[in-house]
Amino acid sequence: MSVELTPTQVASAQQAENSVGLVKSQTFHWCEPFALQSGATLAGFKLVYETYGALNDAHSNAILICHALSGHQHAAGFNDPKDSKPGWWDACIGPGKPIDTNLFYVVSLNNLGGCHGSSGPRDTNPATGQPYGPDFPTVVVRDWVNSQTLLADHLGIKRFAAIIGGSLGGMQAMQWAIDYPQRLGAAVVIAAAAKLSAQNIAFNEIARQAIASDPNFHQGHYAAEQLVPDKGLGLARMIGHVTYLSDNGMREKFGREIKSGDITRGADVEFQVESYLRHQGQAFSQHFDANTYMLMTKALDYFDPARDNGDDLVATFAPVTAKFLILSFTSDWRFSVARSEEITYALIAARKNVASAIIQSEHGHDSFLLPLPRYVDVLKTYLTRIHQEISNGTTS
């Protein structure tokens, strides 16, 4: 469905005033043992990241972007002069955009266990000399946050003005606020949840089973066999994708027109939504790693910060000093408005500063990636206020 741009169009998109333009990923190497929540220890790790904007003299204007399930470090701008598509959150990051790179120094990374350059299942396991594959240790949201603090240290950031994330990214922002209260001024939690519902875990499990049942999967050791479980991974993505859209949104986008105009022919692909989903699944399976998908969905499932506090989310938020902005979208049923409200009202009960907005949208969970006018406006208003506070030195 993507439209091919001419080289001139690509160049003008890359040089647009509100684009961060060409950016290069960098790599942070941590060369000491890193203990994981699972009890395993990594001998060290690397994290790839990008930065946009400039860190001010006081080092007080940094924003951390935490990515969701299939995200990565490339959130804004272009990595290559030939790239026709910008980073995954270019709608919100750039000069004059809500996460304004004229005001903020924005850090975006690929999480541990990822497949875009940070240490993950595709790396060589020093113990075997083979790719880790399924043997890459289990990582959870808290491990990501711990590794992100080391990246922050490396970049000279003691305290982020804000940590922002959608979906699984919002969970990381929450974990930061709980575990490192002194290291962030604000957490912006978008279309997230304090923990997944059984229904939500169920969709992840179906996705994992789709991957595991691909004959190419070989219990995750497909790289050693020089195979790719692309059918299974594609199917996992198709399932996920449907849950990120809404019924109305799909009706509007695809309708149910029959291509051949004749239902008796029983063609393989008849409806537009079928070819769309196949394309999405196929494209995804070309560049994403199946073991990373397993690992990331598990991290989602396990996230439950209140678990260590007798399932008391209010008590879990007790250490928080950051203020929160909680955003949700009306048609998002994978991470519904009610899940966001649980976070909001637990923060209120814990006497924390919190604001919330519920954005009208037909685009389901995917809304958080889209430049919806009210969403963009709320985000911009909130972050402008934060910038004023750090400029006045009035931040708590």
Partner 1 sequence: MALRADLEVIVGLVNTGARVLDLGCGEGDLLAHLQEHKQVNGYGLDVDADNIRTCLEKGVNVVEQDLDAGLSNFQDDSFDMVVMTETLQSVRTPEPLLREMLRIGEECIITFPNFGHWRCRLQLALFGKMPVAKHLPHAWYDTPNIHLCTFKDFENLCANLGLRIIERRVVDHRSVERPLGSLLPNLLGRVAFYRIGRAI
* Range in contact with partner 1 (rule: CB under 8 A) among 121-129, 166-174, 177-185, 343-351: 343-351
User: Interface with partner 1 includes 385 (CB under 8 A)?
Assistant: yes
Q: What's the rounded Cα separation, in Å, for the pair 60 and 58?
A: 5
**Which residue in the set 254, 271, 276, 345 belongs to the binding site for partner 1 (CB under 8 A)?**
345
**Counts of helices then strands in the chain (DSSP H, E):** 11, 12
Exposed e or buried b for every residue in 251-277, given b needs 16+ CB within 10 A?
Answer: eeebeeeeeeeeeeeeeeebebbeebb
Q: Which residue's CB is nearer to partner 1, number 190 or number 325?
A: 325
- Shortest distance in whole angstroms from residue 357 CB to partner 1: 5
- Catalytic: which of 60, 118, 167, 340? 167
* CB neighbour list of residue 124: distance below 8 Å, 6 or more residues apart: 130, 131, 132
Q: What's the rounded Cα separation, in Å, for the pair 1 and 173?
A: 33
Q: Which residue's CB is nearer to partner 1, number 35 or number 349?
A: 349
- Shortest distance in whole angstroms from residue 373 CB to partner 1: 10
User: Interface with partner 1 includes 225 (CB under 8 A)?
Assistant: no
* Nearest residue to 304 via CA among 178, 153, 393, 219: 178
* CB neighbour list of residue 383: distance below 8 Å, 6 or more residues apart: 63, 98, 99, 100, 103, 104, 162, 188
Q: What's the rounded Cα separation, in Å, for the pair 286 and 278?
A: 12
User: Interface with partner 1 includes 251 (CB under 8 A)?
Assistant: no
* Range in contact with partner 1 (rule: CB under 8 A) among 37-45, 123-131, 177-185, 350-358: 350-358
- Catalytic: which of 90, 143, 214, 332? 332
* Range in contact with partner 1 (rule: CB under 8 A) among 31-39, 88-96, 227-235, 377-385: 377-385
Q: Which residue's CB is nearer to partner 1, number 236 or number 390?
A: 390
User: Interface with partner 1 includes 376 (CB under 8 A)?
Assistant: no
- Tell me the two tokens of residue 281: 């699944």
User: Interface with partner 1 includes 303 (CB under 8 A)?
Assistant: no
User: Interface with partner 1 includes 358 (CB under 8 A)?
Assistant: yes
- Tell me the two tokens of residue 8: 């001139």
Residue 80 annotated among the catalytic residues of the structure: no
Based on the number of CB atoms within 10 Å of its own CB, is 238 exposed (0-12), middle (13-18) or buried (19 or more)? buried
* Range in contact with partner 1 (rule: CB under 8 A) among 110-118, 239-247, 301-309, 348-356: 348-356
User: Interface with partner 1 includes 274 (CB under 8 A)?
Assistant: no
What is the torsional sign of CA 304, 317, 166, 155? Answer: negative
CA 269 to chain centre: 31
* Range in contact with partner 1 (rule: CB under 8 A) among 45-53, 139-147, 272-280, 340-348: 340-348
**Which residue in the set 11, 22, 202, 349 belongs to the binding site for partner 1 (CB under 8 A)?**
349
Instruction: For residue 208, give the DSSP letter.
Output: H
User: Interface with partner 1 includes 354 (CB under 8 A)?
Assistant: yes
Residue 19 annotated among the catalytic residues of the structure: no
Residue 361 annotated among the catalytic residues of the structure: no
Residues with a catalytic annotation lie at: 167, 332, 365
Q: Which residues bind partner 1 (CB under 8 A)?
A: 323, 325, 341, 344-345, 348-349, 351, 353-358, 374, 377-378, 381-382, 384-385, 389
